[in-house]
Amino acid sequence: MDNNTLIPAELLDEPLVYPAEAYISKDYAEAEGDKLWSRVWQIAGRVEEIPDVGSYITYDIGTDSILIVRSTDESIKAYHNVCPHRGRKLVSTPAGANQAVGKKDQAGEHPGFFCNYHGWTFNLEGQATYIHDKDDWKGALNENNTCLTSVQVDTWGGWIWINMDPQAGPLREYLEPVASLMDPFQFDKMRYRFRQFGIFECNWKVALEAFLEPYHVAATHPQLSKYGDYYAYSKALGFHGNTGFDTRKGGDTSSSDNSVHRAAKGADPRVSIAQMQQEYWDTIGASTSETLVKTAQTLVDELPEGTPASEVHHYWLDKARKVDAERGVIWPEISEKQMADAGLALSIFPNFNIIPGPTFGLYYRVRPYGTDPDKCIYEAVALDLFPEGEEPQTEWIHAEQDPEQWPFVIAQDISNMVEVQKGLKSRGFRGNLPNPHQEKKVTNLHRMLAYYMGTGVPREME
Ligand code: FES
Ligand SMILES: [Fe+2]
């Protein structure tokens, strides 16, 4: 055991190696519940999922299940989803569903969460309000030994975050500096456009890491290379990290260069921006917006041939902002510097990664499936800013680990996952050799994992 070593972030600039243990060891996977998942802030859902008093969702993580409920107009409560009587999971997750969703009516004789086994019932504050034949306990049952066990809960960015550790520090503190980089995008105002999940045959880290770096784009998504180089910087930001497009020469990159809606490479930027946007829309279905895609198609008619790429880019974004405003979608004010600082994609330790845009976000959340190191729950989510009152009603769509059931680009990423999981078990694999410039987000994930798990510290290559 390495004894919870936290290597200095500066060491991530060096060529490092770390073992395959975190992905394939049964012991490691079983220890994650105690050492990692019960101690970190993690996304349990979106605030929009529990709009009314009594609305609830569940969030299963490893062997734990959390019940999250809107207890008043202003407050959300979270509890361990277990009945204190004899341990039945209080709210069951329907087979094949990602979570239980519902609403508890507060009227009636015994309102609230009813345990199917012996009928104990709990109100939204987690107190037992009905215990069948309570007197048989001779007065030993009281508020403290019959209430649901509370879990820390908070909100930020429109997400509901939970932490099972009663001693955990504040959410905001945990999320910095990434929360400040993401604030300008106002994700709290966005809503689900689609959300899809699957149970995949690989470790959750394998699935997550497929999206943590653009170093894989040239080989995994060769069709995207015609729009530009995907050479990227990758930074550790405390527990978390981000990436952005970079030049091999180094130096500063402006927001138009390093964010997801950068100008595309090509002889005529009016055409190449339109083509790239259409390709994103057709093959990812996210990472851009319908307005940006449609507006890009008009550039060739509205701008003279020879307009420099940066001018085309600014014109395009300005026009899309106006088009959106006309339909009631007001872009948040995001300065060039804020856009540049956020970069292409931000990750929050341990299991979240988002590609941010002015009116959209594409994110991935990945979790273990029980304690099986070879399985995970993988989710891809698109958020959008909608005109008020036009937000769609969505629910989790289940998809197999079948390329046909995912957008083309994500399917390309998925195609590597099972093969990586198999390869990591090879007796001939000597350990991971992440790119010190372009894959630092991955190495930082393992730096933080080593700190929590007490094993697997990235070490300098010999
Ligand atoms: S286990 Fe819930 S009432 Fe008995
Ligand atoms: Fe990819």
Domain boundaries, given as residue ranges, for the chain: 42-167
Pocket test for ligand 1, best of 80, 81, 83 (most atoms within 8 A of CB): 83
| pLDDT at 222 exceeding the cut of 80 | yes
Residue of the CA atom closest to atom 3 of ligand 1: 118
Tens digit of each residue's pLDDT (9 = 90 or more) over 415-439: 999 999 999 999 999 999 999 999 9
Q: Is 118 in the pocket of ligand 1 (CB under 6 A)?
A: yes
Smallest-distance ligand from the CA of 221: 2
Ligand 2 center–CA 11 separation, angstroms: 26
- Probe target for ligand 1 pocket from 120, 122, 132, 134, with the most ligand atoms within 8 Å of CB: 120
Does the pLDDT at position 254 exceed 60?
Answer: no
* Cα 76-81-85 angle, rounded to 5 deg: 125
State the average pLDDT over residues 363-379.
Answer: 98
The first and second tokens of residue 71, run together, are 């207890």
Separation CA 313–CA 193 (nearest Å): 26
What is the mean pLDDT of the segment spanning 161-171? Answer: 98
- Rounded CA separation 380/182 (Å): 19
Is 117 near ligand 1, meaning CB less than 6 Å away?
yes
Instruction: Looking at the CA of 207, name the nearest ligand.
Output: 2
Burial class (CB in 10 A: 0-12, 13-18, 19+), 16: buried
Using the predicted structure, report yes or no on whether residue 370 has a pLDDT greater than 60. yes
H/E segment holding residue 419: helix 408-423
Burial class of residue 318 (count of CB atoms within 10 Å of its CB; 0-12, 13-18, 19+) = exposed
Mean pLDDT, rounded, of the chain: 95
Ramachandran angles phi, psi of 194, nearest 5°: -145, 155
Q: Name every residue whose Cβ is closer than 8 Å to that of residue 10 and which is 6 or more positions away in sequence.
A: none
pLDDT at 109: 77
Residues 53-81: tens digit of each pLDDT: 999 999 999 999 999 999 999 999 999 99
Ligand 2 geometric centre to CA of 315 (Å): 28
**Looking at ligand 1, which residue's alpha carbon is closest to its atom 4?**
118
Measured CA distances, 35 to 8, 62, 447 (Å): 21, 12, 14
Q: Is 92 in the pocket of ligand 1 (CB under 6 A)?
A: no
> Contact, 431 vs 17, CB < 8 A?
yes
Ramachandran area for residue 228 (φ above 0: left; ψ -120 to 50: alpha; else beta): left
- Mean pLDDT within 345-357: 98
Q: Which tokens hold the place of 159?
A: 């997400």
Q: How does pLDDT run across 96-136, given as a tens digit for each residue?
A: 899 999 999 878 777 899 999 999 999 999 999 999 999 99
| Alpha carbon of 279 to ligand 2 centroid (Å) | 14
Q: Which CATH fold would you assign to the domain 42-167?
A: Rieske Iron-sulfur Protein (2.102.10)
| Pocket of ligand 1 contains residue 88 by CB under 6 Å | yes
CA 154 to CA 177: how far, in whole Å? Answer: 17
pLDDT surpassing 60 at residue 255: no
DSSP result, 297-359 = HTHHHHS-TT--HHHHHHHHHHHHHHHHHHTT-PPP---HHHHHHH-SEEEETTTEEEEE-SS
Q: d(Cα 33, Cα 368) in Å, to the nearest integer?
A: 10
Residue 2 has pLDDT above 60, yes or no: no
Provide mean pLDDT across the span 449-457.
97
User: Which of 67, 85, 91, 147 is the best mutation target for the ligand 1 pocket, counting ligand atoms within 8 Å of the beta carbon and taking the most?
Assistant: 85
**Chain centroid offset of residue 344 CA:** 14
- Give the dihedral sign, CA 408/409/412/418: negative
pLDDT tens digits, one per residue of 256-265? 567 777 777 8
Helix (H, G, I), strand (E, B) or coil at 433: coil
CA of 437 to the centre of ligand 2 (A): 17
For residue 196, how far is the Cα from the chain centroid? 12
Instruction: With beta carbons less than 8 A apart as the criterion, state whether 177 and 335 touch.
Output: no
Q: Taking residues 212-230, what's their average pLDDT?
A: 92
pLDDT score of 3 more than 70: no
CA of 402 to the centre of ligand 2 (A): 16
Single-letter amino acid code for the residue at 44: A
H/E segment holding residue 199: strand 191-200
Q: Give yes or no for residue 422 CB within 6 A of ligand 1.
A: no
Q: pLDDT at residue 380 above 70?
A: yes
pLDDT at 1 (0 to 100): 43
Give the Å distance between the CA of 80 and the centre of ligand 1: 14
The 121-122 sheet, strands edge to edge: 113-114, 121-122, 128-130
State if residue 235 touches ligand 1 by the CB under 6 angstroms criterion: no
Closest atom of ligand 1 to 90 CA is 2
3-state helix, strand, coil in the chain (%, to 5): 35, 25, 45
Got the DSSP string for 99-140? S-EEE----SSS-SEE-TTT--EE-TTS-EEE-TTGGGGTT-
Q: What's the 392 CA to ligand 2 centre distance in angstroms?
A: 27
Question: Is the model's pLDDT at 251 over the cut of 60?
Answer: no
Mean pLDDT for the stretch of residues 301-317: 94
Task: Report which of 253, 258, 213 is spatially closest to residue 12, judged by C-alpha positions.
Answer: 213
For the chain, helix (H) and strand (E) counts, in that order, are 15, 20
Ligand lying nearest the CA atom of residue 287: 2
> How many Cβ atoms from other residues are within 10 Å of residue 396's Cβ?
17
Distance of CA 119 from the midpoint of ligand 1 (Å): 6
**Whether residue 189 has its Cβ less than 6 Å from ligand 1:** no
**Local structure of 54: helix, strand or coil:** coil
Measured by CA distance, the residue closest to atom 1 of ligand 1 is 86
Ligand 1 touching residue 103 (CB < 6 A): no
- Cα 347 from Cα 314, distance rounded (Å): 27
Q: Give me the mean pLDDT over the 318-324 stretch.
A: 97
